[in-house]
Structure 1
Amino acid sequence: MRIDICKRLVAMRKIVGVSLGYSLCPNPVWDMLLDLYLADHDHRDVFMLSLCGAANIPSSTAQRKIVEMEKAGWLRRESPDTDRRCIEVKLTSDGTRLVNSLLDGMIDILRSGDPPVPLQAYPIADPALHGGSDAFASPQRPS
Structure 2
Amino acid sequence: MAAASDLFADPIWDMMLDLYVASQRGQLTTVTNACVAADVPQTTGLRYIEKLTSRGLAVRYSHLKDKRMLGLELTPEGKASMEDMLREMARVLGEAGYRREIKPPLLQTG
With normalisation by structure 2, the TM-score equals 0.77
- Correspondence for 2:58: 75
Note the residue ranges of structure 2 that are not aligned, 5 or more in a row. 98-110
Q: % of aligned pairs identical?
A: 29
- Correspondence for 2:14: 31
Amino acid aligned to 1:37: Y
Distance 1:44 1:109 in 2: 29
Q: Could you report, residue by residue, the CA deviation over 1:55-107 in whole angstroms, capped at 9, with x for unpaired residues?
A: 11111000110011000000001104653222110100110111111111101
- Correspondence for 1:87: 70
Deviating above 4 A after TM superposition, structure 1's stretches of 4 or more consecutive aligned residues are: none
Supply the RMSD in Å over aligned alpha carbons. Answer: 2.1
Amino acid aligned to 1:16: A
Distance 1:80 1:50, change over 3 A: closer
- Correspondence for 1:16: 4
Residues matched between the structures, number: 95
Which aligned pairs between 1:121-140 and structure 2 lie closer than 5 A? none
Note the residue ranges of structure 1 that are not aligned, 5 or more in a row. 1-14, 115-143
Conserved in 2, the CA contact under 8 Å of 1:26 and 1:57?
no
Most deviating of 81-90 and 60-69: 81-90
Higher helix share: 1
Higher strand share: 2
